[in-house]
């Protein structure tokens, strides 16, 4: 399944995205020109999913580099770095954002002796490489993940980690979509994923388009379907993996992992190695983004669903303890505990 969710305009000056906030009811593409528009797209989840954010940021900072008029390296780099830092500040938890922008910074720094015009061309090539690599990584993650399930299995997923969140196939949805291409059939239980409903709006949308048998459930129904024996595996994505195997993903993921452990269901985290942060020792070191409480009280409701004045706690992510994770599936293979060893080995 291919979803064109991030691309350059024909003249290469602007970045075009599929606005995920409008799905599933409207398919709307946005052409973004300014740094403020790009920051807004990340912050307000018009583009979301850790790999997709990284790809978007790479193309975005390339487009912004074209606007820099200074021809001297020092002046160019100063403005370029300001753009990169600004985009990086949009969301703190997903490591792919900083990872991709660091690659773009390194492209500039390694070519300081070249003319600025040539550096800008190299930035475009690097952004294209990041996207091509993501397509390849998702394919390989999907292949590895497919070895863990069999035709007819029931799979539960949380949030959205399909093509919309990446470039092709996705991570957590990748094995399902690849299997479907090979005439395999799975039944996917889709957590709606409160409070922003990425499961209901996006995952369900992708699975229906791909012809996958899927059932939408509220987040608090996961235990019920697990208890009935309908779930053979849980597949979730990730926004950051710490060196000890703790993983940050959309809030609610850790609860799914706890339930899976209780019912004896394998719980797999799927993500590219670009999501692994070896400088982060454990989940305690992951900065969790806190969002506006209005997302709980009023978003997607015609009228507020909570009394005025009530306090809200709205973390965008939670951390799943490594002890709850059966395996971490990357493009380089399936990692098992102890993760301090398997992650260190794979990241050499």
Q: At what angle do helices 95-110 and 116-146 cross, to 10 degrees?
A: 140
Which residue in 134, 153, 191, 239 is the catalytic one? 239
Q: At what angle do helices 174-181 and 116-146 cross, to 10 degrees?
A: 70
**What is the separation, in whole angstroms, between the first and last Cα of the chain?**
32
- Which tokens hold the place of 227? 């208890």
Asked if residue 207 lies in contact with residue 174, where contact means CB atoms within 8 angstroms, the answer is no
Q: Which residues pair with 200 in a beta bridge?
A: none
Residues 6+ apart with CB under 8 A from 294: 312
Q: Is 239 among the residues known to form the active site?
A: yes
Q: How far apart are CA 280 and CA 106, in angstroms?
A: 21
CA–chain centroid gap for 171, Å, is 8
Q: For residue 245, is it left (φ>0), alpha (ψ between -120 and 50) or beta?
A: left
Active site residues: 239
């Amino acid at each position: 399944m291919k979803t064109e969710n991030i691309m350059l305009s024909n003249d290469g000056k602007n970045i075009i995205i599929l606005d995920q906030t409008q799905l599933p009811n409207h398919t709307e593409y946005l052409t973004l020109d300014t740094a403020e528009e790009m920051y807004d797209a990340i912050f307000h989840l018009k583009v979301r999913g850790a790999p997709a954010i990284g790809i978007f940021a790479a193309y975005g900072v390339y487009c912004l580099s074209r606007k820099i008029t200074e021809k001297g390296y020092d002046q160019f780099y100063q403005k370029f770095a300001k753009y990169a830092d600004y985009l990086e500040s949009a969301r703190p938890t997903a490591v792919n954002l900083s990872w991709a922008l660091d690659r773009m910074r390194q492209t500039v720094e390694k070519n300081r002796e070249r003319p600025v015009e040539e550096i800008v061309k190299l930035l475009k090539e690097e952004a294209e490489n990041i996207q091509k690599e993501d397509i390849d990584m998702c394919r390989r993650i999907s292949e590895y993940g497919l070895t863990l399930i069999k035709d007819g299995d029931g799979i539960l997923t949380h949030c959205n980690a399909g093509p919309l969140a990446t470039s092709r196939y996705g991570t957590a949805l990748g094995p399902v979509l690849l299997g479907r291409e090979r005439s395999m059939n799975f039944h996917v239980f889709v957590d709606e994923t409160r409070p922003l409903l990425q499961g209901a709006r996006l995952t369900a949308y992708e699975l229906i388009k791909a012809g996958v048998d899927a059932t939408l459930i509220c987040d608090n129904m996961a235990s019920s379907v697990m208890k009935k024996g309908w779930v053979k595996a849980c597949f979730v994505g990730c926004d950051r993996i710490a060196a000890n195997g703790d993983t940050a993903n959309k809030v609610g993921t850790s609860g799914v992992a706890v339930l899976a452990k209780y019912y004896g269901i394998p719980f797999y985290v799927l993500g590219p190695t670009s999501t692994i942060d070896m400088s982060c020792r454990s989940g305690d070191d992951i900065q969790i983004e806190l969002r506006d409480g209005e997302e709980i009280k009023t978003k997607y409701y015609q009228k507020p669903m909570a009394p005025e004045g009530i306090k809200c706690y709205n973390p965008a992510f939670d951390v799943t303890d490594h002890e709850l994770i059966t395996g971490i599936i990357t493009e380089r293979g399936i990692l098992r505990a102890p993760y301090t060893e398997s992650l260190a080995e794979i990241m050499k």
